[in-house]
Structure 1
């Protein structure tokens, strides 16, 4: 009987220790993963090639209606010559442009 209790206690201790070791081995993001997240944060959106879904997803203050308006403007007037031309799109103001300037290009 004492042998069974000792075996159970030893099993419980080993199981607990195993769980502690497993929890301690949670890997931190590697340098490549951290760099990948950083690169994703600075990815730019090309006003001349992005579809409405991409514009809506990537730009601050741009919903479905404004994203579609950007695409419609591009279809009607041709490619954007510069990011500042985005101000010509109805519903896009200076504040929206400035919030997104670092994410935009028109190349």
Structure 2
């Protein structure tokens, strides 16, 4: 480990030990819930991480062609939406 990295690590450790009340709180993701069976492409793109407008439009097109999604996992049937994207957003997805 280089000297500057070691100094930075020591400084961070000293700060965390000397002032535990100054430690940052974990970030809370306050995204709103989104109903994937009712939301517009714009709403989906805004609410779902890793889903831009093009993918959101694909979600809406799939929904119109194949019907409502029964679960969040069914989003993976949309080209470009994989299991990792579904898992990253599962807590904010509603189907009813």
TM-score by length of 2: 0.67
Tell me how large the CA RMSD over aligned residues is: 1.6
Q: Distance in 2 between matches of 1:82 and 1:98?
A: 12
The answer as to 2:89 corresponding to 1:100 is yes
Matched positions, count: 69
Higher helix share: 1
Q: Aligned in 2, Cα 1:79/1:42: closer, same or farther, shift over 3 Å?
A: same
Residue 39 of structure 2 corresponds to 50
Matching of residues 1-107 of structure 1 within 5 Å: 41=30, 43-107=32-96
Which structure 1 residue ranges, 4+ long, deviate > 4 Å from structure 2?
none
Q: Distance in 1 between matches of 2:33 and 2:48?
A: 10
Q: Which runs of 5+ in 1 are unaligned?
A: 1-37
Displacement of 1:64 after TM fit?
1.0
Q: Which runs of 5+ in 2 are unaligned?
A: 1-27
